[in-house]
Amino acid sequence: MPSSHPALGYAFLTPFYEWAIWLGVPEKKIRRMLMEHLKPEDSVLDFGSGTGTFLKELLAANPSQSIRGLDTDPYMVKTARKKGLTVDYYTAGNLPYPDQKFDAVTSTWVFQHFSAEEALFYFQEIRRILKPDGVFWLGDWGPSQGRVQTMLGKIVHWIDPTQNGFGPANYWPEWILKSGFRTVTRSEPIKTRLGTFYYWQCLP
Ligand SMILES: C[S@@+](CC[C@H](N)C(=O)[O-])C[C@H]1O[C@@H](n2cnc3c(N)ncnc32)[C@H](O)[C@@H]1O
């Protein structure tokens, strides 16, 4: 059964989430890369939108864009709404949207927390709510580049045991294709202090 997973593994750490990201990753670069792939006319859902940093930047660049977030953590939803963003709250499970609603679904650092069953479930749900010519952008940790990155990855996994490590990312393309997507393409790696980050472009 799909469930909610705290951003940093423990609910008491959630208020420090933005700091952790700020300290650990080249956030602007990572957010901009994704923004560059979205068209201003796209209706966008950010799945697991957290504090809304990505949506806020997207809205600043295209104030008339139709965008919304979705999250299971009341603290995250409240924080993002305070920034003037439209964010839906739900308690995990089926996504609260009709079939083929969005041109683009984005999701960054969410799937790292999911079990195989949950990941497969959400790939299918995201496929369902995407328009036939839409796109799903998955951003997350993936295969480590080099020994230092592998060690950093292990430390992060040790601190946050709700992370599945970086192994599942190797299976995502297979599960994404099994969920009804036609193609999956992985970006070049981005090395960060917390591990190696990638985007996967998934086309229905
Ligand atoms: C590590 S944070 C990433 C936040 C944001 N995407 C970002 O890029 O900063 C993971 C987010 O996924 C949310 N989340 C966890 N389980 C979820 C689920 N089953 N459905 C939707 N969101 C979920 C958490 O509440 C949290 O806000």
If you measure from the C-alpha of residue 145 to the centroid of ligand 1, how many angstroms do you get, rounded to a whole number? Answer: 25
pLDDT at 189 over 80: yes
What is the whole-number distance in angstroms between the Cα of residue 9 and the centre of ligand 1?
11
Which is it for the CA torsion 54, 102, 124, 174, positive or negative? negative
Angle at which helices 53-61 and 27-35 cross, to 10°: 50
Please report which helix (H) or strand (E) contains residue 199, including its range.
strand 195-203
Return the pLDDT at 66. 96
Residues lining ligand 1, Cβ inside 6 A:
2, 4-5, 7, 47-50, 53-54, 70-73, 76, 92, 108-110, 113
pLDDT of residue 159: 72
Q: What is the pLDDT of residues 114-159, one digit of tens each?
A: 988 899 999 999 999 999 999 999 999 888 777 777 777 777 777 7
- Nearest atom, ligand 1, residue 76 CA: 27
Q: Where are the alpha helices (DSSP H) in 25-180?
A: 27-35, 53-61, 74-82, 116-129, 146-159, 172-178
The yes-or-no verdict on residue 161 having pLDDT over 70 is no
Residue 10's pLDDT band (boundaries 50, 70, 90)? confident
Look at residues 198, 203, 44, 176 and name the one whose alpha carbon lies nearest to residue 121. Answer: 176
Q: In a mutational test of the pocket of ligand 1, which residue from 72, 94, 97 has the highest number of ligand atoms less than 8 Å from its CB?
A: 72
Distance in Å, CA 150 to ligand 1 centroid: 23
- Across 1-15, 97-111, 186-200, the highest mean pLDDT is recorded for 97-111
Show the domains of the chain with their CATH numbers.
11-203 (3.40.50.150)
Give the DSSP per-residue string, 40-77.
TT--EEEET-TT-HHHHHHHHH-TT--EEEEES-HHHH
Given the CA of residue 112, which atom of ligand 1 is nearest to it? 1
Q: Whose CA is nearest to atom 27 of ligand 1?
A: 50
Phi/psi at 12 (nearest 5 deg)? Answer: -70, -15
pLDDT at 94 over 70: yes
Atom of ligand 1 nearest to the CA of 71: 22
Which pTM does this prediction carry?
0.92
Q: What is the pLDDT of residues 51-86, one digit of tens each?
A: 999 999 999 999 999 999 999 999 999 999 999 999
Q: In angstroms, rounded to a whole number, what is the distance separating the alpha carbons of residues 17 and 123?
A: 25
